Amino acid sequence: MGFARLDAYLRGLVAEGLLPGFVALVAREGEVAYLGVGGYLDPEKGLPMREDALFRLYSMTKPWVSALALTFVEEGVLSLQDPVEKYLPELAGLRVGREVGEEVVWEPLRRPLTLYELLRHTAGLPYGVFFPSPVRRLYLEAGVERFDLSREAFLAGLSRLPLRFQPGEAFEYGLATDVLGHLLEALSGKSLEALLRERVFGPLGMEDAGFWAKDPARLAQPFPQDPETGKRIRLIPVEAPPPRYAGGLGGVGTAGDYFRFLEALRRGQGLLHPRLARLMTADHLGPLYGEGLRRGPEYLPGPGYGFGLGVAVRLGEGGLAPGSPGDWYWWGFGGTHFLVDPSLGLTALLLTQAPNLLSLAQPEKALHSRLGQRLGLAFRTLVYGALA
């Protein structure tokens, strides 16, 4: 296998001033075939990137929490059919906000919100910050996505907001994994950090994974300003423990940490039984895929992909980049990507610390960004192109 083109592409982005630095890893059947380390750990200080750099993972925290929940399902402690209000009574009064033009018409739930809907992001819980809509605007105004809220304040705020869809009605990417993490805390009486340490990080040897940078000197930093828009870059603070453990975006880890996690799921060893790992990485949207695709860019799995219990899952040969039916992937807003192709024994991971998904926050720029989601698509294309 030759990864010269992939390596040249990433180093070229650094040389152009589009990426501050990167760590990239590609493995076949668990054996590392390519490890690229380039650019700067801290571009302002001129510190070189290092293999053990810590990255803010943003939404790549979600698969951790999804797998954690399935460890309880595997033990029979939880059922995918359990209603959320059984563990979080604060959310017992949730309703749906049907969007009629610019108005929000409230209606009762037709069925309870369940653990299953949280895992496959069909709970109707949005993010207010992406792709404006009347219900999302209510979330943005309520400030429930702020990183400085306590667990109690977050749940109280959420209890007063409507779901955007009826449970099970549509894929809606948002705060579902945050709610899932707090459900697991209520179930166990332990913090999400402690649960992950006990059930995921510890068993897999993920020594640096967590919700804050234990060694801030290894924390990868972005450019002070976005190179495409000129806007100031502000990433979540992870130098100290957070006010609450946000299961959807708060994680920090190294490439080595995340590689161990992905390999455990790919092999079905060390974390979940092979059948449970397969359940997590199989499509669970079914007929909801077509309707999701018609919603355009806000359907974040993208063309050719359904969604499992925490990851996007390829449905067939279509899509915007190469792959295989059954491959699965996800990414993080701060510039992180992974893909796993079980048919090829392939695991690939790219960690940067740049706002290369800024086009989600500014959809009008999506088609004109040099990077945006293009970085993940280019990485995937170059990885497959390097395979013998």
Could you say which of 59, 150, 188, 359 is catalytic? Answer: 59
Kind and range of the H or E element at 340? strand 336-341
Take residue 300 and report the two structure tokens written for it: 């974040």
Are 371 and 360 a contacting pair, CB within 8 Å? Answer: no
Q: Report how far residue 130's alpha carbon sits from residue 357's, in angstroms, rounded to the nearest whole number.
A: 11
Question: Which among 309, 253, 322 has a CA at the least distance from the CA of 282?
Answer: 309
- The amino acid present at 18, given as its one-letter code, is L
Q: Report how far residue 175's alpha carbon sits from residue 232's, in angstroms, rounded to the nearest whole number.
A: 25
Separation of CA 329 from chain center: 9
Q: How many CB atoms lie within 10 A of CB 16?
A: 10
369 as an active site residue: the answer is no
- The per-residue b/e assignment along 276-291, b for 16 or more CB within 10 angstroms, e otherwise, is bbebbbebbbeebbee
Are 121 and 113 a contacting pair, CB within 8 Å? Answer: no
Angle between helices 4-15 and 374-386 (to 10 degrees): 150
Query: Who's near 1: CB < 8 A, 6+ residues apart?
Result: 28, 33, 34, 386, 387, 388
Q: How many CB atoms lie within 10 A of CB 361?
A: 15
| Active centre residues (catalytic) | 59
